[in-house]
Amino acid sequence: MQLLILRHGEAEPMTAADESRQLTERGRAQVSRICELRAEELEQVRAIWASPFVRTQQTAEIVAESLGLPVITEPLLIGGIPPQRVIDALGQAKSFPLLLVSHQPLVGRLVNGLCGSDDAHFLGTASLACLQAEVWAAGCAELEWLQHAE
């Protein structure tokens, strides 16, 4: 099974509530670029889960529009949630390949936790990671590739 993990595009500076920050024009362009770079892999996605924050919803909508899929809002994907809670939810998921759209530090911690890696996988804005596993549990996945938007 394949899992794709996407960090949201560049967002506005923190001037209001964090959950209300929107993508900048550059952020939208970053997401569009990653969609172009990995179009073949993204076309295989069967479900999209996204954090409820505005910038992740906007990022997910850009991807969803090209795929004709709905975005499923998943409260577990906010940045401060322990990765194990997300890993547990993945074990119950039915549609793969699955795309998760979230934030740092969660996206990096998910890649590390699923791959059982001590290496810090930093995902910059609009970075996309692809993992492969037979079961979704800590240490059971392999990082196939990590694509940065720029």
The pLDDT tens digits of the residues spanning 11-40 come to 999 877 889 999 999 999 999 999 999 999
pLDDT of residue 80: 82
Kindly report, residue by residue over 116-131, the tens digit of the pLDDT. Answer: 987 778 899 999 999 9
Percent of the chain surpassing pLDDT 70: 100
CA pair distance 14, 21, nearest whole angstrom: 7
Identify any residues that bridge with 145 across adjacent strands, giving them in sequence order: 130
Q: Coil, strand or helix: which one is 148?
A: coil
Give the global pTM: 0.95
Helix ranges (DSSP H) in the chain = 25-37, 39-42, 54-67, 83-90, 106-115
**Phi, psi values for residue 138, rounded to 5°:** -55, 130
